Amino acid sequence: MDLKQIQYFIALFEDGSVTRAAKRLNIVQPALSMQIAKLEDELHQQLFERGAHGMAPTAAGRLMYRLFLPIMRDLAHARQQLVQREEVVTGHVGIGLIASVTESVLADSLSRFHARYPDVDVTVADGYSATFIDWVAGGQLDAAIINKPRARLSLDARPLLDEEMVLATSAEHGPDLPHAIEFAKLPELELVLPTKRHGLRGVLDSAAQHEDVLLAPRFEIDVLSTILKLVESTRFATILPRIVVERTARHGTLRACPILAPRIVRHILCVSHPRRPLSAAAEALIGIIGDELHLASNSSLTETSSALNEGSA
C-alpha cells in the first residue's frame, strides 16, 4: 500500500464512479482500476461493489475511508506548511460554522479573508455543534466554531466570544414589554425556539433548569432566519443571540429586549484536533471570523445602549 493508492481509493470513494474519479485525478480509467485491484489484493478484502450505477463501498471500504481520510489531510497540511513561503499562504481550509455565525458574519469574514489570501480555497459546513465536534475529531474538518457544550470536550478549544442572548418580538405586532424582562417571565410569552438538537437550545434549557423555569415553545424551528421572519409578523417571541437579532432590528421590524435575573450568555468556541496543528490559512480564517464576531457584538451593544437611553429620556 502506498500514498498514491490511498489517494486513488479516496477519490473513487468520494466520486462513486471510475470515470469521475479518473477525471478528478487526471489519469486513465484502467490505471485507476488496476491500482484499486492491487489494493484489494494486498488487503485481502473487497473495497467496492461493482454495479450498473457505479462503485458502492463495502463495509471494509467505509472503514478504510474513515481511517485514512484524516491521515491524508494531515499529510496535505504538513506539506503546505513545509513548502509554503511566509509571504504566500496557499492550500485549503475546511471549517464548520454554527448558523448564528454563518448568518451574521460569514460573508464579511470570507470577503476579508479572500482579499488577504486569494490563493486559499475554503469549504464551509453549516450544522449543529455536536455534529461538528464529531467531524473535527474524525478529520473531516480542520476546525469548527460552535456553542460551548455542557459535556467535556476532548478537542482543543479556544474561546472566541461570550455573547448575551436577548428576547426578540415584532415591533408592529409583538406584545408590550418593558425595557428588560426577567427570565421567570418568559413562560408567559408564546415562544418560538430552536429544537433540542440545536446548541442554542442547550444554552436556554440549561439556564431554565437552573432557575426552575419551564420553557414550552409553541413552535420549534432550527432555521434562525425563519424564526425571525415568523416573529416579525406575529405576536410570537424568540430568544436568540444579540448579533442575530440586531441585524434585523436595525430595519425597525424587531425589538430586542435584554433578559435579566439571570442574563443568558452563550460561549462561542473554536475547536480543533489536538494532534492536528492548524495550517496558517486556517489560523488566519479563524482569526478573521473572531474579529468579525467581536465587531458585530460591539456594534449591537452600542445600538442597544442608545435605544435604551432614548427610551428612558
Residues 125 and 57 in one domain: no
120, 242 contact by CB (below 8 A): no
37 CA to centre of own chain: 38
pLDDT band at 217; cut points 50, 70, 90: very high
**Domain that includes residue 60, residue range:** 3-81
**Does 310 reside within a domain?**
no
- Domain final position from 38, 54, 81: 81
Mean pLDDT over 35-64 rounds to 89
pLDDT for 305 beyond 60: no
**Does 141 reside within a domain?**
yes
**Does 176 reside within a domain?**
yes
Q: What is the DSSP letter of 254?
A: E
Residues 182 and 222 in one domain: yes
Residues 153 and 273 in one domain: yes
- Domain final position from 81, 101, 119: 81
Q: Which CATH number characterizes residue 272's domain?
A: 3.40.190.10
Residues 44 and 13 in one domain: yes
Helix (H, G, I), strand (E, B) or coil at 270: strand
Report the predicted TM-score, pTM, of the whole model to 2 decimal places.
Answer: 0.69
DSSP β-bridge partners for residue 283: none
216 CA to centre of own chain: 26
65, 93 contact by CB (below 8 A): no
Q: Which residue has the cell 481550509?
A: 93
Q: Which residue has the cell 426552575?
A: 212
Q: Which CATH number characterizes residue 36's domain?
A: 1.10.10.10
Write down the pLDDT at residue 290. Answer: 93
pLDDT in tens, 244-265: 888 778 888 999 999 988 899 9
Phi then psi for residue 239, to 5 deg, are -125, 115
**Does 240 reside within a domain?**
yes
Write down the pLDDT at residue 81. Answer: 65
